[in-house]
Amino acid sequence: MIIGLTGSIASGKSTVAKMMTELGLPIVDADIVARDVVEPGTETLALIAESFGQAILLEDGNLNRTRLGDIIFHEPAKRKILNDIMHPAIRKEMLRQRDAYLEAGYQHVVMDIPLLFESKLQHFVERIIVVSVSEEVQLRRLMERNNLSKEDALARMHSQLPMSVKEKGADAVIYNNENIENTEEQLRKILSYWNVI
């Protein structure tokens, strides 16, 4: 079974992903893939440098994320150019990793995709687990974790789809408002019900 794991910022999705790894499930992590596809020497990085100029590269050949971020943050047209380069590369590599796990004999693969619904990638997976959290808990965790003001934290939260929308698209929801033991218990129940563990 291909399981999609998603949530919102500061919902605790990474904690649940770690639990799934500990249960022996292989994970394809979209955030790690997004970094890997722009490593020096990759076709993706070459295309980005071609589109945005060599100035977006550091002296060691790595991507200067800060400089690139400054460019695309203020110019939606340039952000679209970047997304048009990055998204196909990320998707291709995620599917390659997923297929490699299946070919290696794994029965189940987890695809950890933070923006699963926003990117409309539901077709990549067979079942979806959403890690959900109340807005109060999410706000508190985000402010503490990223050292943000309330306004900045709310702006980040509101830039994503509301939790209620994600929950509607889920096959199972883990409510991560309490302690870690409670979260793990919910995860084990879901995976056991699906005959994954």
Cα–Cα distance for residue pair 107/113, rounded to 1 Å: 19
Nearest alpha-carbon partner for 6 in 119, 98, 156? 119
User: CB-based burial of residue 187 (10 Å sphere; 0-12 exposed, 13-18 middle, 19+ buried)?
Assistant: buried
Contact 129/172 with Cβ under 8 angstroms?
yes
Tell me if 10 is assigned to a ligand binding site: yes
Tell me if 44 is assigned to a ligand binding site: no
Tell me if 11 is assigned to a ligand binding site: yes
Tell me if 14 is assigned to a ligand binding site: yes
Query: CA geometry: angle at 32 spanning 8 and 151, to 5°?
Result: 35
DSSP tag of 92: H
Contact 113/124 with Cβ under 8 angstroms?
yes
Which residues are part of a known binding site? 10-15
Task: Please give the annotated binding residues for ATP, written as ranges.
Answer: 10-15
